[in-house]
Amino acid sequence: MMKIAMTGASGNMGREALKQTLELAEVEFVRLLLTHKKKNIKLAKELKKTYGARVRFVMGTVADPAVCRALIKGVDYVVHMAAVIPPASDASHAASEECNRRGAVALIDAVKAQDPQPKYIHISTVALYGNRNEKHPFGRVGDPLVVSPFDRYAMDKLYGERYCLDAGLDCWAVLRQTAMLHPNMMKDNISDGLMFHTALNAPLEWVSSRDSGLLIKRILERDAKGEVPGFWKKIYNIGAGFGGRETGYDTFNDGFAIIGGSAEKFFKPNWMASRNFHGMWFSDGDELEKLFSYQRDTATGYWKEIAAHHKIYALGKIVPKKLIHLFLFRRLLKHPNSPRQWIKNGDTARVIATFGSAAPQLSEDWKDYKLLAKNDFGDYDKLRDPANAVLLSHGYDESKTPEEWTAEDFRQAAAFRGGELVSGDYQGDIYGKLVWKCHDGHTFEASPYTVLRGGHWCPHCCMPLPWDFDRIAKHNPFIAQVWYDSHDADEDRVYDLDQNDTAVIRNVGENEG
């Protein structure tokens, strides 16, 4: 009988993962970590009433080591789904750091200290890859991790993932979650300016919360039966397949269709960010599907299901579109998290990060905007087929399996990142730490798997504040090949947060303060 610990069970993915996991007769119990919020206390009572002794609870925060030890005591599996995501992470950087960074560290340390160690599933995020557009919409595990400036959620999640990779756990898997559809999508996104961060040509691969929960269930079920021995100690992208691949533009069209509208009826193109978002289509999104057969929902189909379950949205079809435009969406332009409000307030750092200029000249006319979804860059269906994808280089012979890697592969990969391999002796352990040096002369330890397959690089340059990719890209071809898809080579800025967590921008080489 399986004993399982879960974090994040009150979230959209977590609720589905818990419900579907408890469908397995071989699960003795699932122990959940819940914070001391009224809604979580209510949730615990409801779950206890439904599942009885098969659900157990530890109350507290994931950043508390003692709470983590109590959560995982005696379990076989730990599924870490807890996260503070945008817009909550935008509003409270402290909350993001507590959960997404310190929480991951505390939980991983608890797993490592337990004997025997439980198997650990770490839910990471597509946000680590940073901004993508029509130039390289497809990506895969091993691509550079270039967190978009001022994305504190992604920065903290990047730290948590890297800690997992090089913690020396016995048995782990990292799953990078993509954009996720859930039943409350519409309701949760009409009270904040966050929706305007979505670039219209941003490639988004939508997976449903239901399919995500099914994936967790299948992993636990099939691993317990010994059916997937090659699954562990790898990184995967949680893909959705062709039916989940959209852009920001047609995502809005799908969502607004349930209230009788579209992106062009409700929005103006100059409301939207032109860069500094995150999302991509996965050329390797079928790897988990081959193992666990979990991809069921399509983006369009799921939006129709949301409409069927929320009949009130149908009222939008009889309300004049100009009224919806004015009172439901236009009002959000004044929200502090809206790019148009950043322009109005003179928030130069965020405006430049989002548009490339402190005074962006943006048209209100949809005719002036080229869109992937309208075939302006080629046949949209063909562009969404991974067989036609133009992929980024990883800087070494990728025809080799990790077991075939040699020190020469590591030297090539390091050189492509503007650095070098310092360690002179490789013993064949792809998870053993080696010493590397970046272009700036920082030496750091990381496993070959973390660098070559994970896409991570120097923790001094590419992880903490500030976001210095304008300068780094000039010396790092690995990062440059994606950074220059949305930035000019002559840009020379450093994006940072000051002591008050205010976004600031300065020129490369300029001393802080």
In the chain, where are the structural domains located?
2-185+207-247+281-298, 402-507
Of the options 3.40.50.720, 3.90.226.10, 1.10.630.10, 2.102.10.10, the CATH number for the domain spanning 2-185+207-247+281-298: 3.40.50.720
Distances (CA, A) of 291 to 78, 282, 361, 484: 20, 16, 48, 35
pLDDT of residue 513: 35
Put simply, whether the predicted model's pTM sits higher than 0.85 gets the answer yes
Q: CA end-to-end span of the chain, whole Å?
A: 58
**What is the token pair recorded at 450?**
């973390």
Reference 454, options 35, 179, 164, 100; nearest CA is 164
| DSSP codes joined into one string, 456-478 | ---TTTSSSS-B-HHHHHTT-HH
pLDDT of residue 510: 58
| Residue 420 exposure: Cα atoms within 13 Å on the Cβ side | 5
61-148-236-479 Cα dihedral, nearest 10 degrees: -140
Cα–Cα distance, 162 to 164 (Å, whole number): 5
User: Which residues is 175 bridged to in the sheet?
Assistant: 123, 236
pLDDT of residue 507: 80
For 229, other C-beta atoms within 10 Å of its C-beta total 7
CA 412 to chain centre: 28
pLDDT (tens place) for every residue of the chain, 513 residues total: 999 999 999 999 999 999 999 999 999 999 999 998 999 999 999 999 999 999 999 999 999 999 999 999 999 999 999 999 999 999 899 999 999 999 999 999 999 999 999 999 999 999 999 999 999 999 999 999 999 999 999 999 999 999 999 999 999 999 999 999 998 877 777 789 999 999 999 999 999 999 999 999 999 999 999 999 999 999 999 999 999 999 999 999 999 998 889 999 999 999 999 999 999 999 999 999 999 999 999 999 999 888 888 777 777 787 788 888 887 889 999 999 999 999 999 999 999 999 999 999 889 999 999 999 999 999 999 999 999 999 999 999 999 999 999 999 999 999 999 999 999 889 999 999 999 999 999 999 999 999 999 999 999 999 878 999 999 999 999 999 999 999 999 999 999 999 888 999 988 665 443
For 407, other C-beta atoms within 10 Å of its C-beta total 15
Count of H helices and E strands in the chain? Answer: 21, 18
**What is the token pair recorded at 225?**
């039966």
Judge whether 173 and 236 are in contact, CB under 8 Å: yes
Coarse DSSP helix, strand, coil percentages of the chain, rounded to the nearest 5 percent: 45, 15, 40
**What is the token pair recorded at 406?**
């040699």
pLDDT of residue 106: 98
| Residue in the block written with tokens 């059916």 | 227
**What is the token pair recorded at 24?**
């397995």
Cα–Cα distance, 25 to 292 (Å, whole number): 18
R_g over Cα of the chain: 23
The single-letter code of the amino acid at 87 is P
pLDDT of residue 509: 60
Question: Largest Cα–Cα distance of the chain, in whole Å?
Answer: 71
Reference 204, options 239, 245, 243; nearest CA is 245
